[in-house]
Chains A and B, each alone.
Chain A
Amino acid sequence: EAGVAQSPRYKIIEKRQSVAFWCNPISGHATLYWYQQILGQGPKLLIQFQNNGVVDDSQLPKDRFSAERLKGVDSTLKIQPAKLEDSAVYLCASTYSPGQGSSGYTFGSGTRLTVV
């Protein structure tokens, strides 16, 4: 089975610019997560979708971050305007049914964002 696809793999932008990341989860996976991993830290959940509805966005900085999951499949995470502290790896993960399966969660390779 194909894994979780993310693009781009790397992105360098200047502060105050905007950027978008794309995620294609595993086919049939209803739940999709976006995590932010700052260097030296563990991943932190930004937003969780169940199909195309938001389950948890309590840690999403909504003044600059937005995310959508149209038709309950692909998802896009946007930052506008970017700040230096947004430099991080953005990981997308999906699961068929939360907690189910041998691993439960499948992660993509991530997008490494550098804001200069």
Chain B
Amino acid sequence: AQKVTQAQTEISVVEKEDVTLDCVYETRDTTYYLFWYKQPPSGELVFLIRRNSFDEQNEISGRYSWNFQKSTSSFNFTITASQVVDSAVYFCALSEWGRGNKLVFGAGTILRVKS
């Protein structure tokens, strides 16, 4: 069954610190997609990244980077030099290609960046 676990309920850091948000997933499919979304206080879900199960290359986009490791079923997200504007709830999600492609979300990690 699909399952996404974000063990960190809340993280607080001081501006300019690096922070890593953990995501562990479970799936029986060999073809699947992993996502990260940001949900600021305004409530909308902002897409950050999508990776497919055949692409384990790490990705960097500005201050954001993602580490995908199939061996440990993890898809971790690192923010380098955090800023106050990074404060939000971050969700990891999984979509299985053969099961209607619905997104299954983790419980989310609240990130608080203090100045």
Q: Which residue numbers of A lie inside 8 Å of B, CB to CB?
A: 31, 33, 35, 40-45, 48, 55-56, 89, 91, 93, 95, 98-99, 102-107, 109-110, 112
Partner of A105, one of B43, B47, B107, B108: B47
3 closest residue pairs by CB, A with B: A98-B101, A42-B105, A103-B47
Contact B50 A48 (CB under 8 A): no
- 0/1 interface trace, chain B 29-40, chain A, CB 8 Å (1 if under): 000010100000
Contact B95 A104 (CB under 8 A): yes
Contact A99 B107 (CB under 8 A): no
Contact A91 B45 (CB under 8 A): yes
A33-B102, A45-B104, A56-B100 known, 15 other contacts, Cβ within 8 Å: A31-B101, A40-B107, A41-B108, A42-B4, A42-B107, A43-B103, A44-B105, A55-B100, A89-B43, A91-B45, A99-B52, A99-B97, A102-B50, A104-B95, A107-B44
Is B91 part of the binding interface, using a Cβ–Cβ cutoff of 8 Å?
A: yes
What residues on B are CB-neighbors of A44 within 8 Å? 105
What residues on A are CB-neighbors of B35 within 8 Å? 104-105
Which residue among B47, B102, B104, B106 has the maximum number of chain A CB atoms within 10 Å of its CB?
B102
> Closest residue to A107 on the B side, CB-wise?
B45
- 0/1 interface trace, chain B 62-105, chain A, CB 8 Å (1 if under): 00000000000000000000000000000101010100111111
Contact A110 B44 (CB under 8 A): yes
> Closest residue to A106 on the B side, CB-wise?
B47
> Closest residue to B4 on the A side, CB-wise?
A42
What residues on A are CB-neighbors of B106 within 8 Å? 42
Contact A99 B33 (CB under 8 A): yes
Contact B103 A45 (CB under 8 A): yes
What residues on B are CB-neighbors of A99 within 8 Å? 33, 52, 95, 97, 101
Contact B45 A48 (CB under 8 A): no
Contact B50 A104 (CB under 8 A): yes
